[in-house]
Amino acid sequence: MGTAYKRIVIVGGGTAGWMTALAVKAAQPGSTVELVESEEIGIVGVGEATFPSIRDFHASVGVDETEFLRATHGTFKLGIQFRDWRAQGEHYFHTFGNFADVAGPTCLWGQYRRVDDPTLGVLGDQCLPTVMATQGRFAKPPKDQGNLYTYAYHFDANLYAVFLRTIAVKRGVRRTEGRIVEVMRRADGGVDRLKLEDGRAVAGDLFIDCSGFSSLLLGRTLEEPWVDFSHWLPVDRAWAVSSAPTGAAITPYTRATALEAGWAWRIPLIDRIGNGHVFSSRYIDEDRARQQLLDQLDGPALAEPRLLRFTTGHRERFWVHNVVALGLSSGFLEPLESTSIMMIQRGLHHMLEALKPGVPPAAPVVDAYNRSMTKMYARIRDFIILHYCLTGRRDSEFWRDMVTKELPDTLVFKMHAWRQTGALNLYSTAEGFESSSWLAIYAGMGTWPEFLDPVLNEVPLEEARQALRQRREQIAAMAATMPAHDDYLRSVLRK
């Protein structure tokens, strides 16, 4: 065991940096926390659709929801609408809700398939937040029925960083503005201090690299190799632009529309819409991709589109010597399921667990951290690939290639188990997505098991039909009593 990490230095003041600053300050009261950022370099400024776990983060660091929504021009998010993924003209929802039982005699999707009655509509009609999203409604789940569904947010990434920074600085995080020009190493290979452009030095015991795509410490300084996912996920560019609102209702969901060589996001905020086109430069040139984004906009663009370049994958290790990387400096998966901020949070959680005794963790603890982050990346990668590999689209070279790619073994196994047995729970959901999420994508893409479990026959067919009909009607009635998302948002912001 070494001596305590007395001085914790965070490099970078984007979403990753300021989330880390707040969490570390709360968890390590005996340490000083200093964050170095450069306004001249700025932050990536995208990353505006989130996952419900962000609410746990806010609760853990004491962020008030109304203040957060006001400060970041935020809106509520029930999930994602996928347009044109299975076939052009079709769409489905992946919301943060459940489909009741996913196995056994009362397995909801199993009975739905067995009953096979078109008057029951789509499987999504059996999921409350999906119906709410379809109707543009929002209300928080009743406190006593918290497992009915959950929700996340859309927010302005630049405003979010400022919001978290204001709170963190008030709580005693030291903010140092300046460009880091040199990283000085210790004899054991770790980082000793950072040299700023104006000659100042920032020394520390633990360095948390939140420097974004530049990966200043883990990538550039420690030269940790990159694990490349681009043979599975070939998108490598994104055009991003905001557009003016059109006066139409603010949708309580993100939209992801499949295009010729990638897909476009639409993220509704209070006063603007965030848009982007994630594409593969192997299949489409930048100008055409830019035009395809502009063609998607509901209203006029508010600026020139910005181009971002990236490679999907992650660093081989996430924690090396006294450097831990969080956020884009550690890896990136395309934002199809809004997972990056959630992954920052999971990394933070595991890192703080490892730091609990207040001293540098022993090597096996660091190894376990690296293993768990690697696994999380693989699980989420598989879930994202699922959206592509089940497509029925053959209208462009990109889509034709996406269905013929060799898949990771873990995904092959998971899809095989689904097709043969209807099993959804194969790996720990703590590493990736819940069964209900896998089910939403399989159902949306029209991929079902070849056989139905005979245990379903324990329920008489007519009883199963009635149960599904009743659930569908109850859900529709419940959704119909809820306020429109805009009205709900206004009522929250008025508080």
Ligand X SMILES: Cc1cc2nc3c(=O)[nH]c(=O)nc-3n(C[C@H](O)[C@H](O)[C@H](O)COP(=O)(O)OP(=O)(O)OC[C@H]3O[C@@H](n4cnc5c(N)ncnc54)[C@H](O)[C@@H]3O)c2cc1C
CB of 99 or CB of 163, closer to ligand X: 163
Cβ proximity of 30 and 230 under 8 Å: no
Smallest distance, ligand X to C-beta of residue 205, A: 19
Closest listed residue to residue 79, CA positions, set 248, 246, 267, 264: 267
Closest listed residue to residue 397, CA positions, set 232, 262, 238: 262
CB of 190 or CB of 335, closer to ligand X: 335
Cβ proximity of 165 and 39 under 8 Å: no
Closest listed residue to residue 46, CA positions, set 346, 245, 308, 380: 308
CB of 341 or CB of 482, closer to ligand X: 341
Binding site for ligand X (CB under 6 A): 12-17, 36-38, 41-44, 46-50, 157, 179-180, 210-212, 214, 216, 238, 240, 276, 308, 310, 327-329, 335, 338, 340-341
Phi, psi (degrees; rounded to nearest 5) at 208: -110, 115
Smallest distance, ligand X to C-beta of residue 242, A: 13
Q: What is the spatial distance between Cα 125 and Cα 132, in angstroms, rounded to a whole number? A: 10
Smallest distance, ligand X to C-beta of residue 51, A: 7
Cβ proximity of 491 and 483 under 8 Å: yes
Structure tokens at 213: 């795509």
CB of 48 or CB of 125, closer to ligand X: 48
Closest listed residue to residue 229, CA positions, set 45, 447, 410, 425: 410
Smallest distance, ligand X to C-beta of residue 181, A: 7
Smallest distance, ligand X to C-beta of residue 361, A: 23
CB of 77 or CB of 114, closer to ligand X: 77
CB of 341 or CB of 459, closer to ligand X: 341
405 is catalytic: no
Smallest distance, ligand X to C-beta of residue 240, A: 6
Smallest distance, ligand X to C-beta of residue 212, A: 3
Structure tokens at 258: 């499949």
Active-site residue identified among 77, 170, 195, 414: 77
Cβ proximity of 150 and 45 under 8 Å: no
Smallest distance, ligand X to C-beta of residue 18, A: 8
Smallest distance, ligand X to C-beta of residue 456, A: 38
CA distances in angstroms from 490 to 1, 68, 152, 308, 366, listed in the order given: 53, 14, 17, 34, 46
Query: How distant is the alpha carbon of residue 13 from its chain centre?
Result: 19
Query: What residues are labeled active site?
Result: 77
